[in-house]
Structure formats: C-alpha cells, structure tokens
Amino acid sequence: MEPTKKGIKRKSTILSYYTKTPKVQTDNLGKNDKLNEMEVVVSLAESALTPFNHNSQSMSEQHNENNKLIEPSASALPSALQTVITPTQIDIGLFIGQFEQPTSQVNSSHRYNILKNTFNPDTTFKFPGSGRRNLKFQINWLSRWKWLAYSVSCDGAFCKYRMLFCPKEVNTQKLGQLVFEKFTHEFLSVFENKQESIAVKLDSKLKLGIEKNRKMIRPIIETILLCGRQGIALRGLTDSGPIDLSSLFLSNNEGNFRVILKYVLMNSKDELKNCFENLPKNTTYISPDIQNEIINVINSLVIKKLVTKINQAKCFTILADEITDVAGIEQFSMCVRYFDKDTNKIRGFSSICTRINLNYLRGQAYDGASAMQGLFNGVQAIIKQSYPLALYIHCCSHSLNLAISDACDVKSIRNAVGIIQTVCSFFNTPKRQAVLQNSVEQIAPDSKKTKLKMLCPTRWVERHEAILVFLELFDSIIESLETISTWIDRETSSKANSILFSLKQGETLLSIHILAKVFSLSMPLSRQLQKEDIDLSISMELADNVMSAVCLLRTNAAEEFKIIYSDVEKKCESLGIMISIPRLAINQTNRLNISTESPEDYFRILIFVPFLDNFCEQLNDRFLNHKSLLKQFTCLINANEKNETEFKELLKTYSADIEADKVSAIGEFTIWHHQVKNKNPKNATEAFINCNEEISPTVHQLLKILITLTVTTASS
C-alpha cells in the first residue's frame, strides 16, 4: 500500500473547475485599450437612451437594423436537457462567439435580457461530474461570484460579463477570466433608467432631447392604454395628418385616439402643447402604424409578465374550445389556468404563447369532440405522449349539457321544446310583438317580462329561463294567438291557429311544467360551473347534490307529479280544455299503451318517470370520469378517513413535482390530516389557503395541482 501524503488536503475550488491556462500578463495593456473597453460600455448605455431619430423610419425598422443577434432558443439544446432550461431562462453557452463583433451592431436589449434571465439552477439540480475524481460544479459558487454563469449545454462555467462586454482580444493578447463588476452594474442601471449614461452626463443637449421625447411620447402611450382598458376603438374617418389643437371637435370624425390626445394636449401645460405643435410632421408618432407598434410592445410586456407568473407557479392547465361568432364563423379560443400567488386567486388568460414551460402542464380540458378526446389520435392523447402528467378533463359544462339533452329525448318533452321554439320565433316580428305586449299589459300588468326569450340553440341548460318566461306569459300568449288568428293575412292567421291548437293540449302543458321543475334543479349547477375560480371538488359536490335531488324526485314521483298535475289542471280549466288520455290501439308502435284509466297515472308513467330516469342515468355516466379523477386527491381534503395508500399513489404520480423524500412526505401528510380534522375545509380551495407551504410543501404542491385542474371551458 502506498503511503498517503500527510498535510495535503483536497479542496475543490472554482479555479480547479477551469482548464489551466498560462497566466495572462496585464501590464502591457495600454491606456488606449482601457479606453476601448470603456467605450464599449458607454456605447451600449448610450444606445439604450438615444433620442428618436427625426427621419421617416418607423420604430420597428430602426430596431431591426440594430438587431443583428441570432437568439438561440431552448430547442437548440439536446432533448434530454430541454427539461432543465425553461423558456424564460437563457443558457449562456449558446451565445459563444456572438458578442465578439463590434458592439454597435448588437442590440443592447439582448445583453440586458441575458443578464437578467441567465439560467440559475436550483438546489435540486444535479451537476454532472468529470474526471477520475468526479469533480462537480458547486452551486454556492454562483452566490459567491456574481459574474459566474453555468451553461447546461456546454457543462461549464463562463464569465457572463466578459462574454457580453469585452472584445475578443486586446493587442493580440486574449483577456483573462474577470471583468470589472462595476461596469456591468452601471450598464444595468442605465438600461433600467436608474442612472444616466456617461454620454448623457457629458452632453446636456442630448439630455434635454431625451427628456423632451419622453414627455411627448408619454401622452400618446397613455391615450392608447386608456382606449384599450375601456374597450374603445382608436380609429376614425381621419387617421392621418397633424392634429389641430385650435378646436376640440371638428366636422370630420377624427377617431377616439386623436380626440382624446387632443383633449389631453389642450388641457396640459403650454410647454407640452407648443412642443407638440412645433414637431416635424414625420416625428409626431401618432400614425396608425405607430399606434399598432405601441400596442404590440404593450402586448409583449403583458404576455411576458403573465408567462413569468405561470412559470413561477410551476403548474398550469390549458383550456380550448370553439365558438361561433355573429358572422357564423367558428373561432378557436385557448386559455391558460394557473394559481397567482400574488393575489391568491386562480387566474386565466386567453393567448397562445411559446415561452411557457410545458413541463409544468398538469391538465387539459376540451369538449367531447372525437378530434379532441380521442384515446389514440385525439389532441389529448398526442399531448399526453409528450407530457404524461397532463390529465384530460372533459368540460363539466359540456357534460351537463349532454346529460340534459339526452334526457330530453323523451318524445313528449322533445315536442314541447319544439312548440316553445316555434312560438318564440312566431312572435319575433314587430307587429306580432306589439300584440303580445298589449296582451301582457292587460292580463299581467305587474309582470316585468313583455317579450319571449329565444331558446339557446346549443346549451339546453340555458333554456330554463326561457321556459320560465314562457310559463309566466302563457295566458298573454294564448290571447295574442287568438287575436292574430282572426287577421285577414291567411298565412299568419292559419299558423297562429295551428300553434294555438298545439298549446291547448294537456300533454304539452304537462311537459312544459315538468321541464321547468327539473331545470330549476340543474340551473344552479350550470351557473356555478361558469365561475372561473371553481375547482373540481366543488363541481363534483354540486353535481352530486343535483343528482340526489333528481333521484329524490324520482323516488317520490307520485307525490311530486300530483302537485304538477294539479297546477296544470287548474290552467286547463281556465282555458276551457280537459286533460284526457289519447286513443289507445291494440298494436301501438308510436307510443306506449299504458293500461290505466287515470290521466294522472298515464302521463306520470309516460313522461315524468322516463324523463327523471334518463336524467339520473345521464348525470351519473357523464360525471363518472370526473369522480374517478377526484378520488385520487380525496385523501388531501377528507377529514373522516386517513388514506395513506392513495397519498402514496399521488407521490408516485407527481414525483417530478415533489422535492421531499417519501418518508418526509408521509410525515407531512400525517400532520396535515390532523389539521384537516380541526379546520374541516369544505373544498380544495379552502384547504389550499389553510395549508402552510413551509410546514407542508408536498401537500401544498398537490393541492395546488388539484385547484389548477380546470372544471369547464365555458366560463362566463
């Protein structure tokens, strides 16, 4: 055995991480070289604050001429490393050699973006080892030396200040590893307008020009923001030419933007007003093109802020649905649902952005179209191939709508809905509407409803209010139809007479009252599902309540239908009609032959019972998948039972989101279960608010995933 060397300690420092190179002599650096380095920083700071150029070029053209840098994205990394670098963090190793060109050709915004968004690994990041001693990069080096940056693609450390600000070499001699930290900090301060650049300090005229341009552009930006926040259109008949400040209103409509800006300038100080009047015509920055550029800049800033919040949440869900606009064209909309820790609320925004880290995708919600929910070639299946934790959730609003529409397949119910739709369409003319309004004033003067509501063509649950209005104005409708049936117009009078005959049927009246009864139970669920902050546990609880109420109605079908039948019977007496059983045939194929002589029993068996049975069955089938999905998270909010097995399954499923080991996580769950027993939260949102992230980080993360899982794509 070889003797060990005493007194020698192995100590891994950052210098041992670099390849040893000959020591660079800095004594030969002359004053000219130091001035060149200073000019680099000055030129960068000056480019960030250069006043507007008085020429015909637009803002985007000036930007594109200076923008010579090719920004590599995270897709340039190997597939195995793309899960480490997020879209908002930059791997500095991908920019090697791009900043060695003259600084005047490189935009300062790129340097600023790299300095602020350099990849910063967390404590869980595993650095690869190298050599026989398996030396690794130490994360504490990043906090110790602020100039240091780690590159995942190159598996090495770089001095970000040297790469961004220093030339390739000075007097044929390459620079060392360090750059003065003061210069870089001054660049950030200048770029963020915390202090003035050296060029501005030396040139007072340049400073005055910058201040003047900022004063002129501020009211323009604020006017655009005002129109955007209030949803006001910017354009008008006259969108070009100078603004006449002699009068606020002219003969031509100048548009909201120009009028509001004119009002601001006319009521501002004389200095600002005079400056705007004396500006050259090509530098007023009020043209539609400049307005669009400012809107695009505002949009990019808002999107960047939202994307940062989504990536910080480390958990989000996507929602997608198609709607038809007023022109009959289908529009595809996409939203993102995430938890905002600044407001402690569930947020969502409608936009498609490529800088969201899809590794944090935990849910996807669509309607029931085969192209979306297909098990093999559907959108959800394709997404799950790349992101297995992105659970698919069928929109609860669509599920409820399908359940009601299938339940309404009973013949009498379906015919009653068709008759109501025909009546609403019939009175959808000014002349017939006037007759109905006169009848309402005579028969029901206290009624606030004077017009029928059209039935929603797609959402059955939204027809509840239309049916209630129809029942409220039923007597006025009958009188109006009787009046219209006496008109000389043959087509109108005959149609009114046929509708009147259909309404004066006991089966139709019973079907309408049954619809109103059942829809009154499902309408609260439909309205709650349209809320943005509703979570999966609340929606399933409401669905169970509706199902229980409908099943109870089915259990007490005889007593409940007797009340409905009594109300309809009174209505028929006022109309001079009777509820009778239709003629029965020996071999009936179109309707049921129910052996009873009581009209009440006949229509209860024919309409009421089948409708309730279908409704209960459809609700149970449509929400079965949602219940199975919620069952995985029930252990986190169930105070009665401590199911450690389900919690272990959650740990196994979401191991990528959990930093604690299995033993520590189970300990957190035990403490959390005692807390749930004491506070007894009603839903997942309340449990998440009561959960302390520092005490139970694992439970907190799992609850955040639960409340982020979306319920519906049809929010109000």
Which residues are bridge partners to 391 per DSSP? 363
Q: Which amino acid is at 526?
A: S
CA-to-CA distance for 554 and 464, rounded, in angstroms? 20
Give me the pLDDT at residue 682, please: 78
Segment among 41-45, 236-240, 241-245 with least mean pLDDT: 41-45
* E runs forming strands in 280-329: 316-324
Give me the pLDDT at residue 43, please: 37
Query: Looking at residues 523-536, what average pLDDT do you find?
Result: 80
CA-to-CA distance for 473 and 433, rounded, in angstroms? 13
pLDDT at 106 over 50: yes
CA-to-CA distance for 367 and 319, rounded, in angstroms? 9
Give me the pLDDT at residue 594, please: 66
Average pLDDT value for the chain? 77
Q: Which amino acid is at 369?
A: A
Position with higher pLDDT, 37 vs 224: 224
Q: Which amino acid is at 606?
A: L
Residue 30 confidence class, pLDDT cut points 50, 70, 90: very low
Give me the pLDDT at residue 15, please: 45
Q: Which candidate, 475, 484, 466, places its Cα nearest to that of 523?
A: 466
Query: Looking at residues 50-57, what average pLDDT do you find?
Result: 38
Residue 446 confidence class, pLDDT cut points 50, 70, 90: confident
The pLDDT tens digits of the residues spanning 655-673 come to: 888 888 888 888 888 888 8
Residue 121 confidence class, pLDDT cut points 50, 70, 90: confident
CA-to-CA distance for 668 and 673, rounded, in angstroms? 9
pLDDT at 468 over 60: yes
The pLDDT tens digits of the residues spanning 215-224 come to: 888 889 999 9
Give me the pLDDT at residue 44, please: 33
Yes or no: say if 362 and 393 are a contact pair by the CB < 8 Å rule. no
Class of residue 53 by CB neighbours under 10 A (exposed 0-12, middle 13-18, buried 19+): exposed
Query: Looking at residues 40-59, what average pLDDT do you find?
Result: 37
384 secondary structure, DSSP code: H
Yes or no: say if 549 and 560 are a contact pair by the CB < 8 Å rule. no
Count CB-CB contacts under 10 A for residue 285: 19
Query: Looking at residues 343-362, what average pLDDT do you find?
Result: 78
Yes or no: say if 293 and 259 are a contact pair by the CB < 8 Å rule. no
Q: Which amino acid is at 674?
A: H
pLDDT at 179 over 60: no
List CB contacts of 35: < 8 A, sequence separation 6 or more.
none
SS (H, E, C) 336-349: EEEEECCCCEEEEE
Residue 258 confidence class, pLDDT cut points 50, 70, 90: confident
Q: DSSP labels for 485-513?
A: TTSS-HHHHHHHHHHHHHHT-HHHHHHHH
Q: Which amino acid is at 351?
A: S
Element of type H or E holding 568: helix 557-575
Query: Looking at residues 26-40, what average pLDDT do you find?
Result: 39
Class of residue 501 by CB neighbours under 10 A (exposed 0-12, middle 13-18, buried 19+): exposed
Give me the pLDDT at residue 83, please: 44
376 secondary structure, DSSP code: T
Rg (CA), the chain: 36
The pLDDT tens digits of the residues spanning 414-431 come to: 999 999 999 999 999 999
Which residues are bridge partners to 348 per DSSP? 337
* pLDDT above 70 coverage of the chain, percent: 77
Give me the pLDDT at residue 3, please: 47
Yes or no: say if 684 and 632 are a contact pair by the CB < 8 Å rule. no
CA-to-CA distance for 526 and 528, rounded, in angstroms? 6
The pLDDT tens digits of the residues spanning 287-317 come to: 888 899 999 999 888 888 888 888 888 889 9
478 secondary structure, DSSP code: H
Long-range Cβ contacts of 455-461 (<8 Å, 24+ apart): 455/417, 455/420, 455/421, 455/424, 458/401, 459/397, 459/401, 460/401, 460/404, 460/405, 460/408, 461/400, 461/401, 461/404, 461/519, 461/522, 461/523, 461/526
Query: Looking at residues 570-591, what average pLDDT do you find?
Result: 75
Count CB-CB contacts under 10 A for residue 712: 25
Q: What are phi and psi of 628, to 5 degrees?
A: -65, -35
Give me the pLDDT at residue 178, please: 40
Three-state DSSP state, 230: helix
The pLDDT tens digits of the residues spanning 365-390 come to: 888 788 888 888 888 899 999 999 98
Residue 460 confidence class, pLDDT cut points 50, 70, 90: low
* pLDDT above 90 coverage of the chain, percent: 16
Query: Looking at residues 56-68, what average pLDDT do you find?
Result: 43
Q: Where would I find the H helices in 530-608? A: 536-555, 557-575, 599-603
